[in-house]
Every structure is written in structure tokens, then in C-alpha cells.
């Protein structure tokens, strides 16, 4: 019996030692794997930084010639070459390079924009839109005399139509401003009611009856408000107030009967 127990104890001890040893080896392997991963990350980060440092050094040593050559290419009508030259250094966020890259992209899109605008002209837009297109085309293609000729040819009609549009916009803006003076609930004008109540003996007795307005389209608006309120004898009577109100809502004058 004692021998069996001894064998069991030895077996358990051996298994425990193997388990501990196995865990120890597993921990060592895990640690090595983590160290390897960290080393690889550091190496990758260093390689990327070295690459960026080399790019910065190259850019700084060639910046003046790079910019002047890119500007010349864009001016000579070869924005694609300028874009290709500048794109390498776009990640450095140099403001001049960023500007020239945008300019080169815009220049590359000019032919597409010109085609789009001329297609729109072919569909005969209204005169105001046509003039806007001619002006944009003249800006995009200043060497083409057609656009300046079309601008000159249509200028008188454009000016007339534009003045009509401006006048219509003013009328619409005034109508909108005058409309805002009146309550959507009962048609009263707040600033007029305030003025009336300020002159009443008992402001709380004020009750709006009706509001009418006269607007000539220029200057101030005449507002006539009918209301009920208590007089000096505490009798409720119907009265009329005539007010002059500016389109932006200021009370210019108030007359109460």
C-alpha cells in the first residue's frame, strides 16, 4: 500500500513538473512572439519615417525648381505633367504644392467643363443663363474670340433682363417683409398693438377686431387696426388706430381715434 502511494505521489509530481515546464515554455514562446512583433512594428515605423525624411530632404533641395517648372507646365497647357510631378510630394502638405495641384486638376477638367457648357447652350437656355455661360466660357477659354463676341452681342438684352430680375427680386423681398409684419393667427401687427396698449387706460382690456393695410410698394406701410377696449369710463368701445410702420417692423407713427 505504501509503495502504491509512493508511486502515485511520484506520478503526480512528475505531471505537475511537466505542466509547469510546459507553461513556462509557452510563456517564453509568447514573450518571444510579442517581442518579435514589436520589433517588426518598430522596424516598419522606422522605415516609413526614413522614407518620409528622404522625401522631405528631396523636396527641400528641389522645391524652387519643382514649383517653377510646374507653374511653367501649367502655363504651357500641360497640367497633366505638372500634376504627375507634384503628386509625389502631396503628402507633405506644402501650401504652394497643394495650390498648384488643385490648379492642375482644374485645368485638366477645363475641356470637360467647356463641352458641358456648350451642350447646355445648344439646348437654348434663357438669355440670363446664356450670358452666364458665355462669361464662364470666356474665363475658361480666353483665347476664343467667340465668347467675347457673344457677350457683346447680347449685353443690351442681358442688362435689360437683369434689371427686370433685380426689380422683381426687390418687389418679392418687400412683399415677404410686409407679410412678416402681420400675425398668421389674426392678421394683427404686433408693433401696432404694443403702441395702442401703451396708450390705453386698461391695456388688458384690448381685443383685436380687424387689421387692414395699404402698401404702395415703396416706403412705409399704412396699417389701420380696429379694436375694442375700455375707455376712461370703463365702457368697452370700438375704436380705430392708424399707424405707419416700416417694412422692417418699426412703428413710425400712431394715431388713435
In the predicted structure, residue 13 carries a pLDDT above the cut 80: no
Percent helix, percent strand, percent coil in the chain, to nearest 5 = 70, 15, 15
- pLDDT score recorded for residue 114: 93
* 14 vs 84: which has the higher pLDDT: 84
Average pLDDT over residues 161-189: 94
Would residue 89 count as lying in a domain? Answer: no
Q: pLDDT tens for residues 22-38? A: 666 667 777 777 777 78
Would residue 221 count as lying in a domain? Answer: yes
| Cα–Cα separations (whole angstroms), residue 199 to 7, 53, 196, 252, 256 | 115, 80, 5, 15, 9
- pLDDT score recorded for residue 250: 96
- pLDDT score recorded for residue 55: 81
Cα atoms found within 13 Å of the Cα of residue 145, Cβ hemisphere only: 0
**Phi/psi of residue 210, nearest 5 degrees:** -160, 150
- pLDDT score recorded for residue 46: 79
- pLDDT score recorded for residue 170: 93
* 181 vs 87: which has the higher pLDDT: 181
CA distance 224 to 214: 8
DSSP letters spanning 10-55: HHHHHHHHHHHHHHHHHHHHHHHHHHHHHHHHHHHHHHHHHHHHHH
Could you count the other beta carbons within 10 Å of the beta carbon of residue 221? 22
Q: pLDDT tens for residues 151-162? A: 999 999 999 998
Length of the chain: 257
Would residue 154 count as lying in a domain? Answer: no
- Are 207 and 228 a contacting pair, CB within 8 Å? yes
In the predicted structure, residue 3 carries a pLDDT above the cut 70: no
Domain end (from 66, 96, 121): 66
Look at residues 233, 254, 235 and name the one whose alpha carbon lies nearest to residue 243. Answer: 254
pLDDT-wise least confident of 19-23, 136-140, 230-234: 19-23
**Please, is 73 exposed, middle or buried when counting C-beta atoms within 10 Å of its C-beta (0-12, 13-18, 19+)?**
buried
In the predicted structure, residue 164 carries a pLDDT above the cut 60: yes
Would residue 183 count as lying in a domain? Answer: no
Q: What average pLDDT is seen over the chain?
A: 88
Domain end (from 27, 50, 66): 66
- Are 83 and 105 a contacting pair, CB within 8 Å? yes
- pLDDT score recorded for residue 254: 97
Domain end (from 43, 66, 89): 66
In the predicted structure, residue 14 carries a pLDDT above the cut 60: no
- pLDDT score recorded for residue 29: 73
**Please, is 197 exposed, middle or buried when counting C-beta atoms within 10 Å of its C-beta (0-12, 13-18, 19+)?**
middle
- pLDDT score recorded for residue 196: 97
Domain that holds residue 193: 188-256
In the predicted structure, residue 174 carries a pLDDT above the cut 70: yes
Domains identified in the chain, total number: 2
In the predicted structure, residue 21 carries a pLDDT above the cut 70: no
Average pLDDT over residues 201-215: 96
Would residue 55 count as lying in a domain? Answer: yes
| Cα–Cα separations (whole angstroms), residue 57 to 60, 84, 98, 224 | 5, 19, 18, 79
Could you count the other beta carbons within 10 Å of the beta carbon of residue 156? 9
* 204 vs 25: which has the higher pLDDT: 204
Would residue 166 count as lying in a domain? Answer: no
Q: pLDDT tens for residues 43-63? A: 787 778 878 888 888 888 889
- pLDDT score recorded for residue 6: 58
Would residue 85 count as lying in a domain? Answer: no
Could you count the other beta carbons within 10 Å of the beta carbon of residue 44? 10
In the predicted structure, residue 190 carries a pLDDT above the cut 70: yes
Would residue 60 count as lying in a domain? Answer: yes
Amino acid at each position: 500500500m505504501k509503495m502504491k502511494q509512493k508511486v502515485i505521489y511520484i506520478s503526480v509530481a512528475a505531471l505537475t513538473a511537466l505542466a509547469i515546464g510546459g507553461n513556462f515554455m509557452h510563456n517564453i514562446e509568447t514573450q518571444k512572439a510579442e517581442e518579435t512583433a514589436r520589433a517588426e512594428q518598430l522596424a516598419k515605423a522606422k522605415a516609413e519615417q526614413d522614407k518620409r525624411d528622404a522625401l522631405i530632404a528631396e523636396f527641400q533641395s528641389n522645391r524652387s525648381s519643382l514649383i517653377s517648372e510646374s507653374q511653367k507646365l501649367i502655363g504651357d497647357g500641360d497640367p497633366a505633367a505638372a500634376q504627375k510631378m507634384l503628386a509625389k510630394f502631396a503628402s507633405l502638405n506644402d501650401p504652394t504644392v497643394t495650390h498648384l495641384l488643385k490648379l492642375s486638376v482644374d485645368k485638366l477638367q477645363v475641356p470637360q467643363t467647356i463641352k458641358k457648357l456648350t451642350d447646355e447652350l445648344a439646348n437654348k437656355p434663357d438669355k440670363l443663363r446664356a450670358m452666364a455661360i458665355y462669361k464662364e466660357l470666356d474665363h475658361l477659354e480666353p483665347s476664343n474670340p467667340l465668347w467675347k463676341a457673344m457677350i457683346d452681342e447680347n449685353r443690351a438684352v442681358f442688362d435689360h433682363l437683369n434689371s427686370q430680375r433685380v426689380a422683381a427680386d426687390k418687389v418679392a423681398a418687400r412683399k415677404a417683409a410686409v407679410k412678416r409684419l402681420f400675425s398668421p393667427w389674426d392678421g394683427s401687427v404686433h408693433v401696432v398693438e404694443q403702441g395702442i396698449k401703451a396708450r390705453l387706460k386698461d391695456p388688458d382690456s384690448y381685443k383685436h377686431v380687424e387689421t387692414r393695410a395699404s402698401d404702395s410698394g415703396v416706403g412705409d406701410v399704412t396699417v389701420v387696426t380696429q379694436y375694442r377696449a375700455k375707455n376712461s369710463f370703463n365702457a368697452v368701445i370700438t375704436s380705430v388706430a392708424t399707424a405707419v410702420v416700416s417694412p422692417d417692423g418699426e412703428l413710425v407713427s400712431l394715431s388713435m381715434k
